[in-house]
Structure 1
Amino acid sequence: MSVRMSILAMLAQQPSYGYLLRAEFDRRTGAPKPLNVGQVYKVLETLERDGFVTRSEQTDADGHIFYEASAAGRAEVERWLSTPEQADAPARSDLAVKVAIASTLPGVDIERMLALQRHAAIERLQQLARSVTPDGAGLGPQLAADAIIFEAETEVRWLDHVAERIRAARAAGAPLDVPFDTEPPKRGRPRKA
């Protein structure tokens, strides 16, 4: 949704064409992974179909077709910018699943696993801090880079939290190994008498 609305917001600022919108999106956000220009044109088709943009009479010397935001498109941008983003249901984290399962398996050195993961997360964070924010980048790319760095910092904090929970569980004598529940789960409808 953010790519779609970002493109519409830029078109509300001024008419443009697909490749230029792609470059402008990347410039404004400092996108570590550039948008696919095909994705941009697909978004433009959808926005046109939905009545949020129209094809402009304007073309450039190379014959690029320009799009511009309609009144409905400008209203949609205003609504988007004035509405708080809703947090999506959290995706299943592969790392969280790995740690949860590993913490219940017998013979797994969970502390070592967490230490290795933390070391890798710190290295990633340091690499991000060096490379994500381009020198002389505008405010938009800096803010997008900050979000990526904060996410990496959150992983390190979470790993520290997990290590502390495991230490506390061990200190309390709580068993970490979880045996299989060999009772098969009940499935389907019960038999009729």
Structure 2
Amino acid sequence: MKRLAAFAEWAQPFVPEAEGVLNYTIASRSQIPEALTLLQKLIGYHAQSVMAGTAPPSLKRVAAPFVEPVKTVPVLTTVFAIKSIKWTVDGNARITQRFKDVQMPPAFAKAALDNNVAVRLDDPRCKDRNSVGGNPEPLHAFDLNQAMSDKSAGPRLVEPIRASTPQFVETIGPPKRVSMS
């Protein structure tokens, strides 16, 4: 430490950074002996406690530093949406408009293909790729989450159509009977 202080004092006029090293050596000369004295006392107290049986022979190890887990990139499947689609993944709501390429998890891609709201990229309907602009309406988009939960619940009963052809059309004035054919 004395040699480092002497060298820093000699280099100080030529190298401005040497002043910091000199200040470090001056502070270390007074603080290191005091720290060593304190450590000696603490080690002695611990040794006495171990010999008396009031302390374990080794102290607790410091906990390992936190290592952030590696984030995995999710596997995504690309399909071509022929209808507006919405789905939720990890709490994030996603929506896409029709006639666009969509990347989604494989389970959602399979549900979209099974429900005929998307096709594979080699399908001839993909020629309409990117032909529609604007934003999709969430209210009218096909909900993949609901479709997946409905399939897991079993077959769904469908209400029968009560009147397939309306007999009257309301207009201004009295109703008129029309034929739908």
TM (norm. structure 2) is: 0.20
Q: Which has the larger radius of gyration?
A: 2
Larger helix share, 1 or 2:
1
Larger strand share, 1 or 2:
2
TM (norm. structure 1) is: 0.19
Q: Which has the higher contact order (CA 8 A, sep 6+)?
A: 1
